[in-house]
Amino acid sequence: MSENIFIDEAIITVFGGKGGDGVVSFRREKFVPKGGPDGGDGGDGGNVIIVSSIEKNTLTDFRYKKKFRAENGKNGQGKKMHGKNGENLIIKVPVGTLVYDYETNELIADLKYPNQYVVVARGGKGGRGNIHFVNSKVQAPTIAEKGVEGETRILKLELKVLADVGIIGFPNVGKSTLISVISNAKPKIANYHFTTLIPNLGVVNMGDGNSFVVADIPGLVPGAHEGVGLGDRFLKHVERCYCLVHIVDISESEGRKAEDDYYVIREELEKFSPELAKKLEIIAANKADLLDEEELNKRILNLEKKLNKKIIPISAATKMNINKLLNEVWENIRNMRIDRQKEILMSLKNAPEKIKLNVKPVDIEVPKKVRFEIIKWDEGIYEITGRDVEILLKKYPIDQKDARIKILEILEKSGLEKTLKNLGVKEGDTVYLGNFAFEYME
């Protein structure tokens, strides 16, 4: 298998589209000197959506492309024309991808089945055009809202490579040899510990179009759950497997007892992942070729008694009982797989194209009363600032006359005049608001 299969993490940034701006416009008709306002609303920004797809197997798509932007909403236009909404951006990821918020580490979605989807960044709301600002006092409003910025989020994608079967066991017991014999994997095999550093994956062909994926999980040693060896890092590759094949060295070629090895590995497994430890386990006693028949039978019976479990003697070297082992594995996963596929088929009915997203665009709520601060920069020069003020400036373009009036009205209601007076602002002083300078008048 290519090394790509192990790219199981990616960090990407997603941007919801910005809402289009509302527009200030007036009807132009022949012989009508001053038409009414007809500025339309901006469209909403598109959302970024992540969808699990059976077309994808890895996260390699994200190795180079790391920024994903949904389309912005178009600005409104005259003649009450609404700007077009931005298109959603759909990012396809493999089934089995976990989506985390990179900054908070919060799990946003666990995309277990095909066509599950999650909105990861909402678009911003389009601004309203000047037709919305007519009232009894203002017949020709020169004010329209700006579109709101979409959400930005940094995500961590994590793919658990989906193996159907995990091969576990002490180092050097023959895990890689077994996977090389039963599957298309071509792992390194050698007579020392930690030959395998990252999991090998292979496809086992059972004929009749039946196949399953095995993973050889290396590095499980005493203390693995505390970070000794590498094994705990790899167990996630088999967290969703149907069953485990646990290999022991029945020849005890390294002087350790098979039963001790068995318990050590079980303990690590249970400490790292109780969930995984609950899976069905098939025990295979490898290197049977190194013992004569009588000794082998004796040891197998003995081990079966001690563990109180059935054990299949095998030899990855001579292929003894390999088919027996495979049939046993296949028999067990077949039924579980049918159940899982039923679930998958159910979820396929919810193809995202057919689903209407029920997502509200991001909006900025303009407070009725705002909090502000006045900074005195110099004699006669002041600035109005604060978070609420920034929100106001984001919503209403200060270069539009009526927008300016609206902003000042809101500030006025919030006690601007009084605050300025208290600070000793005098007639003719300069007061900045955003990039606009006013001359102060009582």
Residue from 315, 321, 400, 414 that binds ligand GTP (CB under 6 A)? 315
Residue from 108, 277, 317, 366 that binds ligand GTP (CB under 6 A)? 317
x-or-dash string of contact with ligand GTP, 169-208, rule CB under 6 A: x-xxxxxxx-----------xxx-xxxx------------
When asked if residue 255 is in the footprint of ligand GTP (CB under 6 A), the reply is no
When asked if residue 86 is in the footprint of ligand GTP (CB under 6 A), the reply is no
Least distance CB 258 / ligand GTP (angstroms)? 13
Q: How many residues bind ligand GTP, per CB under 6 A? A: 23
Distance of CA 310 to the CA centre of its chain: 41
When asked if residue 289 is in the footprint of ligand GTP (CB under 6 A), the reply is yes
Least distance CB 295 / ligand GTP (angstroms)? 14
> Minimal CB distance to ligand GTP: which residue?
174
When asked if residue 252 is in the footprint of ligand GTP (CB under 6 A), the reply is no
x-or-dash string of contact with ligand GTP, 203-242, rule CB under 6 A: ---------------x------------------------
Using an 8 Å Cβ cutoff, are 6 and 29 in contact? no
Least distance CB 316 / ligand GTP (angstroms)? 4
Which residues define the annotated binding site? 169-176, 194-198, 216-219, 286-289, 315-317
Binding site for ligand GTP (CB under 6 A): 169, 171-177, 189-191, 193-196, 218, 286-287, 289-290, 315-317
